[in-house]
Amino acid sequence: MIFRTFDHTADVGIEAQASTREELFAEMARALFSLIVERFDAVETRDEVAIDLPPDDDEYLLFDWLNELLYQFDTARLVFARFEVRFDDEGLHARAWGEPFDPTRHGVGHEVKAITYHQLRVAREGDIWKARVIVDI
């Protein structure tokens, strides 16, 4: 699994690839929180949050997934470092583990304002799943 960020005017892009769609969505979530906190490896996985999303195409489902995680950060000030994602006919079912944000321990990264639809992409290329999204900072 690999993710990277790239600059995009006043925004930041996230790209990831993985061997499964489930791993891809988890990797994109890790990439998001690596932007939000400076020390992503300092995030402890003490608290668990369950997230269920209705079925949709992969791009919109990725948007909704990342948007829900950002909502958890904005409202409950939770940062996450571990993710389990699965899909079935009823949609996306995930668990995210993390803890309350502590700026002294985690460091303040980028202020992610929103997930955007701009250049949103999820695709399977051979045996590899790839995704790309631009976030507004």
Place of tokens 């250049």: 119
Longest CA–CA span in the chain (Å) reads 43
* Residue-wise pLDDT tens digits, 94-106: 999 999 999 999 9
The domain of 40 spans 2-136
pTM: 0.91
Tokens of 23: 């791993």
Q: In 19-63, at which residue ranges do the beta strands (DSSP E only) sit?
A: 47-53
- pLDDT tens digit string along 81-93? 999 999 999 999 9
Give kind and range of the element (H or E) at residue 64: helix 58-76
Q: Could you tell me the CATH number of the domain that includes residue 27?
A: 3.55.10.10
Q: Give how many domains the chain has, as a whole number.
A: 1
